[in-house]
């Protein structure tokens, strides 16, 4: 096990979140649009995303990844951890039954024992569900401030045997569909809704190009916590590196190269390693609170949670989840697709994203403007929290009041979505 070290001053001087004063400038909007009861996002950060089994975090435990972001978020805004009412951690492949890993990370971060912590597992939406849970506690007035996190080490724990299930599973069509491999659900979406291989590959290429452009332009620097860590290389030698960049982005990707890849899940299928999300390691943390409590502590407001929704869909085509969750969240917020500036839709597979985008009539230029999981990677429990961080940073860069949506499909047949408002400069 390797202890991580967060590099001092990880936010560069050029970053718009380089100081507490800079963070506070994020708050704006008319007084009429504000309520002291609003659930607001104060700040969020993530680690870089590493390739599972061979990336920079392949030997790093999830508690270490989690501790890095938990520590950095509070440090950036100068908040003592004893001000937190609760900490919720999204995690799918749960070591130590989940609670142990989260509590260890909690103590490695220097948090006092009086602050509680727990984990939540709603598959690919676990990081977003953590935020929903903390938001719910704030709305019920159980707490004023909380930390919503997500973490996954897909290097050290793999998706495998579903475990002990009822012998009656095979007698129930929907129950049986819950154990269909995710890649096959992608094939089902592609076949049932006519999403061609060409369309999937074109979307995958766009994801890689957008992510490469964002990375080379330094757009991710303001959301990534640089971490000094160690790993064992292919020669068995221990190496120390400072991880500052997502290592799944392939800037040299071409359509010709993608078209040559063989189907990964079905001989005559269209889902490949190139148009699917990458298996990854990473963590993210988002600090949220009731607006009145946040203001009383002199903390900034980066965004406002305006709506949230989770829906169920058929398990065998679970990828269509966002097509139903997004309208549900938009209806809550009193908004339409046309009102949204940025959609962060998790790219589990290009097939399902393309279906959802076309079903809802979302302009492609509004979808994942800095790339998605096909290029960045998809550390299961981390992704939802990572998307919130990426979304709000993108809205801030645009420099005006705007709205964004985070959404993803969920294994076993669900979809989740949240609507956020960036209040402006």
Residue closest to 144 by CA, chosen among 299, 32, 308, 20? 299
Catalytic residues: 124, 378, 409
| 40 close to 303: Cβ distance less than 8 angstroms | yes
Using alpha carbons, list the distances in angstroms from residue 44 to 94, 296, 317: 23, 19, 32
Residue closest to 60 by CA, chosen among 230, 288, 271? 230
User: CA torsion sign, 332 to 329 to 313 to 190?
Assistant: positive
Residue closest to 345 by CA, chosen among 332, 358, 334, 333? 358
Residue closest to 189 by CA, chosen among 87, 74, 320, 85? 320
């Amino acid at each position: 096990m390797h202890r991580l070290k967060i590099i001092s001053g990880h936010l560069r001087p050029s970053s718009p979140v380089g100081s507490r004063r800079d963070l506070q400038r994020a708050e704006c909007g008319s007084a009429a649009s504000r309520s002291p009861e609003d659930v607001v996002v104060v700040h969020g950060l993530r680690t870089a995303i590493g390739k599972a089994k061979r990336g920079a975090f392949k030997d790093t435990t999830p508690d270490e990844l989690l501790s890095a972001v938990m520590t950095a978020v509070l440090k950036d805004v100068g908040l003592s951890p004893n001000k937190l009412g609760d900490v919720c951690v999204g995690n799918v492949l749960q070591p130590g039954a989940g609670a142990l890993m989260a509590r260890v990370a909690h103590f490695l971060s220097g948090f006092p024992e009086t602050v509680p912590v727990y984990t939540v597992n709603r598959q690919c939406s676990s990081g977003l569900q953590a935020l929903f849970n903390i938001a719910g506690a704030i709305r019920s007035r159980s707490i004023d401030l909380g930390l919503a996190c997500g973490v996954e080490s897909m290097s050290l724990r793999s998706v495998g045997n579903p475990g002990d299930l009822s012998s009656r599973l095979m007698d129930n069509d929907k129950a049986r569909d819950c154990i269909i491999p995710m890649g096959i659900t992608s094939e089902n979406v592609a076949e049932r809704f006519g999403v061609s291989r060409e369309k999937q590959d074109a979307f995958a290429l766009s994801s890689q190009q957008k992510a490469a452009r964002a990375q080379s332009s330094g757009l991710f620097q303001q959301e990534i916590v640089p971490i000094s860590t160690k790993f064992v290389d292919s020669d068995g030698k221990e190496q120390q590196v400072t991880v500052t960049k997502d290592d799944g982005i392939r800037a040299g990707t071409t359509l010709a190269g993608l078209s040559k890849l063989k189907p990964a899940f079905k001989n005559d299928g269209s889902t490949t390693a190139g148009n699917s999300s990458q298996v990854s390691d990473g963590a993210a943390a988002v600090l949220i609170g009731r607006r009145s409590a946040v203001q009383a502590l002199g903390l900034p407001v980066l965004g406002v949670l305006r709506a949230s929704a989770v829906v169920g869909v058929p398990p065998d085509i679970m990828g269509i989840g966002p097509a139903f969750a997004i309208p549900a969240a938009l209806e809550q917020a009193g908004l339409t697709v046309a009102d949204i500036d940025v959609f962060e839709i998790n790219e589990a597979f290009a097939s399902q994203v393309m279906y959802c985008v076309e079903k809802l009539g979302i302009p492609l230029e509004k979808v994942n403007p800095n790339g998605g999981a096909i290029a960045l990677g998809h550390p299961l429990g981390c992704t939802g929290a990572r998307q919130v961080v990426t979304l709000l940073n993108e809205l801030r860069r645009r420099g005006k009041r705007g709205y964004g949506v985070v959404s993803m499909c969920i294994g076993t047949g669900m979809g989740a979505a949240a609507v956020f408002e960036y209040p402006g400069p």
